[in-house]
Structure 1
Amino acid sequence: MPEKENKSGKVVDLHILRRLFKFVKPYRGRFVFLVFLTLLVAVLAPVRPMLIQYTVDNHIALGDLQGLINMIILLVGLLVLQSIAQYAHTYQSGWIGQYVIRDIRIKLYDHLLKLRLKFFDRTAIGKLVTRNVSDVETLAEVFSQGVAAMAGDLLQLFFIVGAMLYIDWKLTLVCLSTLPLLLISTYIFKEKIKSAFTEVRNAVANLNSFVQEHITGMNIVQIFNSEEREYKKFQEINKEHKKANLRSVLYYSIYYPVAEVIQAAGIALLVWYGARGVMNHDLTLGILIEFIMFIQMFFRPIRLIADRFNTLQLGIVSTDRILKLLDNQDHIVNDGKVKPAKIAGEVSFENVWLAYDKEDYVLKDISFKVKPGETLALVGATGAGKSSVINLLNRFYDINKGSIKVDGIEIGEYDLNALRKNIGTVLQDVFLFSDSIYQNITLGDPTISRQKVMEAAELVGARKFIERLPEGFDFNVMERGATLSVGQRQLISFVRTMVYDPAIIVLDEATSSVDSETEELIQHAIENLMKGRTAIVIAHRLSTIQKADKILVLDKGEIKERGTHEELLALNGTYTQLYNMQYKELVK
């Protein structure tokens, strides 16, 4: 869905700026130094024209060679000082900007890690990537090209106008007579370029989203022979991107020549009026040259201020988006105090109700108990609520009503990290990062040794196939484990769970997409995983169901039947129907 630009209607939102500058507090010393440099650069700006005026009128006009040499040395020294001050100003503003966006990006990513899964269920990934990368990057320009640069420009204008008025107020009015035209054209340009930038940002967001989504789903595009259709869609999106950029190019190509003409007109008026004053001896040649330099220095920041202003506005929009995300408190409260090193593994659900969206309950009055070392199988059609049960145990979501206990203690009373450390979850859709097998198993945990990883792989039955790969455990599986088969990815996920030695195993058993040889390996791995542990299994295969101590048959969020495999078959009810439809062919 195309991303829309927020429009607050405010020229500059001071509240957002204040919140943004809270991130500058750790670098207040550098910021104070930046303010000093900004003031220094602005104060030095009118000094050079004034020195040149003095040189022309008091040394060149009088033929004072030694005085001229002294003034040249002084001017060179001034230029060196200005260059150093400008360099330090640019570097300091950039330095502060980079450190601030580093801190914001870290804070934002840390915040994302703590949000509930339901937030990610309803928020597009591309949108979150944009917030954490592009929007944060825009903030750097707020410091380097926005606030600091605008403040420097405005101060420079103030000191230049002050110097001009002090020297000759009539000449100053002549110089600035074309200023209203420049201000009007600058305002029109600012509004037009702001609109164009908004279109460009939206076009970039749409282009990125389309490319990301279709590269990820390229197999679907090719399976359904949709290459030509998707190519035409891409052409249209790319065309909109081109048009938006060309609009901004058009406005720039019009504005800068217009600004140059207005500035030239101002200089022409100055020369016409000033030349008469020089010839009538009402004005010195040095002052005329001084004012020509002043007017060039005055108009340059005026031309740039529209760009600065748009940079600042874009930064405020990005800041607003980031702050809204940071203000989202939809995260699981982790205020539990119970931190057991090991748990026995008893799990009980008591009258549990769950709704992802208001009163639309996906689990209704669910109650069951699993003793340590027992296996509970969950059976039911798609959408029956099986995955919701295992999501609740890990506190990926919080219940609306009822109680969930582990070893007789409410799961909310456990420290979240301690709880999840004792629950090993293996999902049907295995996600692997673009990294080595070893890193995908340990997830960067330095406490897990390579020896422990190898032992777990041996126990699960994955070590042989891993060691046959180039580089073995250091083999890079690429994005989402693309270089491995479905079964191999599943086995690695079992090893990943095994190295943490959890007391409770939550297993979305998935063997429907693998060959019979791999299925045997997976079944062997499942048996080793479940040995001596409490297991809650979403059952896809008959073998797991038959061995379960208890089976729950779910339908539309309710428990319809419960019992062992034989007890449920004897009921000749929902389980029997599922058995006949899904599992009978597997029994030989």
Structure 2
Amino acid sequence: MRPYRAIFGLCTVGMLVVASTDVMMLRIVQPMLNEFGTVGTEATLYLPIAIVGVFVLRGIGSYISEYGLAWIGSRIVFDLRCEASDHLLRMPTSFYDATSAGFLLSKVTFDAQQVAAAASEAVTVSIRNTLTIAFMLAYLLYINWQLTLIAFAAFPFVALTIRQINKRLRRVTGLVQERTAALTHVLEEAIAAHRVVKVFGGEKYESDRLRAASNRLRLAMAKQSAAAALGTPINQIIVSFAVGVILWVAVRQSTDRSYGAGDFVTYVLALLNLLNQLKTLSNVTATVQRGLVAAASVFALIDEPPEVDTGTVDLGRVRGEIRFEHVTKRYDPEAPAALSDVDLVIAPGESVALVGPSGGGKTTLVNLIPHFYAPTEGRLLLDGRDLATIHLKELRRQIALVSQDIVLFNDTIAANIAYGMMAGAPREAIERAAEAANALEFIRMQPEGFDAIVGERGIRLSGGQG
């Protein structure tokens, strides 16, 4: 919001004008009602002009505030998306290995849009209605301060209700965002692998996954709507007690001719307007909570540490000698080493083929060269220079990469082998297929065996295993 302070200030002035017009209308009508039947026609000549003037003023203020805040909201979501997207491009490979693409897409699209809604619609309603409430309270105190003090008694109960509902909304809103991201992930996965889905007859399987994810999101959104809808009736019931007492006292005072009919009517109108503003203000809390949770989600992504570049050396044209010196790589301190004490020299111009069983570390070895990962132990040298001392951009400028194209679903190994029309195949048939693909050994090495989750597109497996 800081870069747009001037526009926000102009919007605030517009909302201040809109809020003041309600009191202006009451002040115009009040003396007319007090002298109704006795006022001369010449005294009413200004009335149409005054009413039109108030509404013109209200229209100008409304346009400035609503358009200005909508513009600020669109700029905020643009800035957030650009910053989040740029940050994603700087994230290390290990971050993408551990994070679903669907969740990242949801943060940059859905969550950022929720922030925009809170920054425009919710802020407009919150500030404008708060200002209107302040003007109405001042007007009510001016007309009859004793009656208005009764209304103040209801405010703590209304505030407590809003606070409790906001807690519930924040929890449920987080659940909605998680399930929106999960649905995006399932849909992205099915679309990306559409050829595989068609060839293996997996349409029904994917349809069931999408329906299940959509239904989980529907249930979360129903909980969100229920929590948001609860605030208005509870607050209305609380305020109705105060209104009932106020009207009872006001009628008794009017019978004593403490003040005129115009005072009474305008007081009731101002009170009803105040209640309507409170109702609208309580309704917008759902949008505010969605925006706050979404902002926390997007900023959590932006706060993720980017890929570290410790290099200080800029390379010119390199000869291309690659040397591995006692290189060991572990992806997890508790897991077995993907590479263990590797010594290897690749001469400039030399072609090398890495041959071995699935899970043998071939992909890991290749991924160390462009420094997608750093070795746990040992070091890699390019033309005698340690890769850790070379700028990442300079290092990767020297490398061409043709990666493996893996299509695996975020499901168990067994479900990926027996996919589509083969779903439900007996375990013996699945094991025979794995053995024929030379994958049985590494599958049995997994803690969950065939029930191990492979991750999105097989990120938890090596390239050869996938």
TM-score normalised by structure 1 residue count: 0.61
- Contact residue 119 and residue 330 of structure 1 kept, 8 A: no
Q: What is the SS of the residue equivalent to 1:427?
A: coil
Q: Do residues 66 (structure 1) and 42 (structure 2) align?
A: yes
In the alignment, which residue of structure 2 is the partner of 1:27?
4
- For residue 284 of structure 1, the aligned residue among 255, 260, 264 is 260
Aligned identity (percent) is 24
Following superposition, the deviation at residue 112 of structure 1 comes to: 0.8
| Code of the aligned partner of 1:291 | Y
- Contact residue 106 and residue 184 of structure 2 kept, 8 A: no
Largest Rg, 1 or 2: 1
Q: What is the SS of the residue equivalent to 2:331?
A: strand
| Code of the aligned partner of 2:265 | I
In the alignment, which residue of structure 2 is the partner of 1:344?
319
Q: 1:312 to 1:407 in 2, by over 3 A?
A: same
The 5 Å alignment of 1:145-184 reads 145-173=121-149
Q: Do residues 50 (structure 1) and 27 (structure 2) align?
A: yes
Q: 1:371 to 1:233 in 2, by over 3 A?
A: closer
Following superposition, the deviation at residue 214 of structure 1 comes to: 3.3
- For residue 348 of structure 2, the aligned residue among 353, 372, 377 is 372
Aligned residues: 407
Task: Report the Cα distance in structure 2 between the residues aligned to 1:371 and 1:234, rounded to whole angstroms.
Answer: 50
Q: Do residues 391 (structure 1) and 352 (structure 2) align?
A: no
Is 40-49 or 122-131 further displaced after alignment?
Answer: 40-49
Q: What is the SS of the residue equivalent to 2:277?
A: helix
| Code of the aligned partner of 1:345 | G
- For residue 405 of structure 1, the aligned residue among 368, 375, 381 is 381
Deviations 1:16-61 (A, max 9, x none): xxxxxxxx22222223333444444444442321222134336x55
Task: Report the Cα distance in structure 2 between the residues aligned to 1:416 and 1:248, rounded to whole angstroms.
Answer: 46
Task: Report the Cα distance in structure 1 between the residues aligned to 2:71 and 2:116, rounded to whole angstroms.
Answer: 9
Greater relative contact order (CA < 8 Å, ≥ 6 in sequence): 2
- Contact residue 81 and residue 108 of structure 2 kept, 8 A: yes
Task: Report the Cα distance in structure 1 between the residues aligned to 2:171 and 2:37, rounded to whole angstroms.
Answer: 53
Following superposition, the deviation at residue 111 of structure 1 comes to: 0.9
The 5 Å alignment of 1:255-334 reads 273-333=249-309
- Contact residue 270 and residue 292 of structure 1 kept, 8 A: no
| Code of the aligned partner of 2:264 | L
Q: Do residues 132 (structure 1) and 108 (structure 2) align?
A: yes
- Contact residue 173 and residue 293 of structure 2 kept, 8 A: no
In the alignment, which residue of structure 2 is the partner of 1:354?
329
In the alignment, which residue of structure 2 is the partner of 1:441?
none
Deviations 1:338-392 (A, max 9, x none): 142x323222222222222236432222223333322233222222222222211
- Contact residue 190 and residue 197 of structure 2 kept, 8 A: yes
Following superposition, the deviation at residue 127 of structure 1 comes to: 1.1
Following superposition, the deviation at residue 299 of structure 1 comes to: 1.2
| Code of the aligned partner of 2:400 | G
- For residue 61 of structure 2, the aligned residue among 66, 85, 88 is 85
| Code of the aligned partner of 1:47 | M
- Contact residue 313 and residue 390 of structure 2 kept, 8 A: yes
| Code of the aligned partner of 1:130 | S
- Contact residue 351 and residue 365 of structure 1 kept, 8 A: yes
Deviations 1:47-79 (A, max 9, x none): 321222134336x55323233221331232122
- Contact residue 354 and residue 363 of structure 1 kept, 8 A: yes
Task: Report the Cα distance in structure 2 between the residues aligned to 1:192 and 1:213, rounded to whole angstroms.
Answer: 32
- Contact residue 55 and residue 71 of structure 1 kept, 8 A: no
The 5 Å alignment of 1:489-568 reads none
Instruction: Point out the structure with the larger strand share.
Output: 1
The alignment yields a C-alpha RMSD, in angstroms, of 3.4
Task: Report the Cα distance in structure 2 between the residues aligned to 1:69 and 1:376, rounded to whole angstroms.
Answer: 97
- For residue 390 of structure 2, the aligned residue among 414, 425, 440 is 414
Task: Report the Cα distance in structure 2 between the residues aligned to 1:78 and 1:153, rounded to whole angstroms.
Answer: 18
Task: Report the Cα distance in structure 2 between the residues aligned to 1:180 and 1:188, rounded to whole angstroms.
Answer: 12
Following superposition, the deviation at residue 96 of structure 1 comes to: 1.4
Task: Report the Cα distance in structure 2 between the residues aligned to 1:320 and 1:133, rounded to whole angstroms.
Answer: 14
Deviations 1:301-350 (A, max 9, x none): 2112233223222222222222222222141316434142x323222222
Task: Report the Cα distance in structure 2 between the residues aligned to 1:226 and 1:303, rounded to whole angstroms.
Answer: 49
Task: Report the Cα distance in structure 2 between the residues aligned to 1:408 and 1:289, rounded to whole angstroms.
Answer: 91
In the alignment, which residue of structure 1 is the partner of 2:425?
none
Q: What is the SS of the residue equivalent to 2:330?
A: strand
In the alignment, which residue of structure 2 is the partner of 1:454?
none
Q: 1:131 to 1:399 in 2, by over 3 A?
A: same
TM-score normalised by structure 2 residue count: 0.75
Task: Report the Cα distance in structure 1 between the residues aligned to 2:231 and 2:300, rounded to whole angstroms.
Answer: 35
- For residue 98 of structure 1, the aligned residue among 74, 79, 82 is 74
Following superposition, the deviation at residue 113 of structure 1 comes to: 0.6
Task: Report the Cα distance in structure 1 between the residues aligned to 2:381 and 2:283, rounded to whole angstroms.
Answer: 59
In the alignment, which residue of structure 1 is the partner of 2:441?
none
Task: Report the Cα distance in structure 2 between the residues aligned to 1:247 and 1:371, rounded to whole angstroms.
Answer: 63
Following superposition, the deviation at residue 232 of structure 1 comes to: 4.5
Q: 1:196 to 1:54 in 2, by over 3 A?
A: farther
For structure 1, list consecutive stretches of 5 or more residues without a partner in the other structure: 1-23, 432-555, 557-588
Task: Report the Cα distance in structure 1 between the residues aligned to 2:2 and 2:133, rounded to whole angstroms.
Answer: 28
Is 48-57 or 130-139 further displaced after alignment?
Answer: 48-57
Task: Report the Cα distance in structure 1 between the residues aligned to 2:210 and 2:55, rounded to whole angstroms.
Answer: 52
| Code of the aligned partner of 2:388 | G
Q: 1:201 to 1:429 in 2, by over 3 A?
A: closer
- Contact residue 323 and residue 382 of structure 2 kept, 8 A: yes
Task: Report the Cα distance in structure 2 between the residues aligned to 1:332 and 1:191, rounded to whole angstroms.
Answer: 38
Task: Report the Cα distance in structure 2 between the residues aligned to 1:118 and 1:103, rounded to whole angstroms.
Answer: 26
Q: What is the SS of the residue equivalent to 1:361?
A: coil
Following superposition, the deviation at residue 139 of structure 1 comes to: 0.8
For structure 2, list consecutive stretches of 5 or more residues without a partner in the other structure: 408-444, 446-466
Following superposition, the deviation at residue 131 of structure 1 comes to: 1.3
- Contact residue 322 and residue 347 of structure 2 kept, 8 A: yes
| Code of the aligned partner of 1:390 | V
Following superposition, the deviation at residue 145 of structure 1 comes to: 3.0
Q: 1:131 to 1:241 in 2, by over 3 A?
A: closer
Q: What is the SS of the residue equivalent to 1:81?
A: helix
The 5 Å alignment of 1:386-465 reads 386-429=362-405
